[in-house]
Amino acid sequence: MTPKNLQQRLGITFKNQHLLEQALTHRSYVNENPSAGNDYERLEFLGDAILDFVVGEWVFKRHPQLSEGELTRIRSALVRTETLADIARGIRLGDYLRIGKGEERNGGRERPVILCRALEALIGAIYLDLGIERVRGVLLPMLEQQEALVFSDAIAKDARTRLQEWVQSNHHQVPSYEVIAISGPDHARHYRVSVSINGEQWAIGEGKSILAASQHAATLALARLPS
């Protein structure tokens, strides 16, 4: 797929196509192709800040009844790596990335961290080239799709938070989550996520998003805790 296809999917047209190309270029590609130009990391830095602002503004206006703490939890849930990776998968961002051959073999196009950072870089590029209103126009519909998945968990203390608090208190570390399987078509993905403590797998959860599957895994792990 080409950057043109991605622009059509997003309903935008970059004035500076080189900026879009940079946003889609992973460091591994530049390492293997030194003449390829810059990777997306500087754009990622900018996009991360813009994302925090736009999401915070949107949540603030959308939920006037919520407290500062509740707003913070919702914003954090929406900009966490797993949520942003789900958004990136929704626009098939991984298909457009320029990544190195080694990263390709290692499944880089599906890695949540890469997808999250590439989305942040894309947001940074849209901001530089087309302005903040275009960022909102692209991002807000995606946030609306994700909000229902994260809202209730963000307001209530979710299973992941409760598990993390127990592990930190008893083992002085944090649980480790890993996506172990992805199945289903693009529009109906199904994920299996494992949670490990002290290197030991405690539970495997399933769900329609990585966040949902990890919450399920945490819930199952909590059921194993001593009463």
Packing angle between helix 68-79 and helix 81-90, nearest 10 degrees?
A: 50
The CATH number that domain 159-222 falls under is 3.30.160.20
Residues catalogued as catalytic: 48, 120
Give the pLDDT score at 144.
82
The answer to whether 61 touches 189, Cβ cutoff 8 Å, is: no
Give the pLDDT score at 176.
93
Give the pLDDT score at 157.
56
Residue 94, pLDDT > 60, answer yes
Per the prediction, the chain carries an average pLDDT of: 88
Question: Residue 87 — very low, low, confident or very high, per pLDDT cuts 50/70/90?
Answer: very high
For 225, the 3-state DSSP assignment is coil
Interval 117-171: pLDDT, tens: 999 999 999 999 999 999 999 999 888 878 766 765 565 556 788 898 899 988 8
Give the pLDDT score at 152.
58
Interval 19-58: pLDDT, tens: 999 999 999 999 999 888 899 999 999 999 999 999 999 9
Alpha helices in the chain (DSSP H): 3-10, 17-23, 27-32, 41-62, 68-79, 81-90, 101-105, 112-130, 132-155, 159-171, 210-222
For 60, the 3-state DSSP assignment is helix
Domain positions in the chain: 3-155, 159-222
Residue 2, pLDDT > 60, answer yes
Give the pLDDT score at 16.
96
Give the pLDDT score at 207.
85
CA–CA distance, 140 with 50 (Å, rounded to integer):
13
Share of the chain above pLDDT 70, in %: 94
Share of the chain above pLDDT 90, in %: 53
- pTM score: 0.68
Fold of domain 3-155: Ribonuclease iii, N-terminal Endonuclease Domain; Chain A (1.10.1520)
Question: Residue 1 — very low, low, confident or very high, per pLDDT cuts 50/70/90?
Answer: low
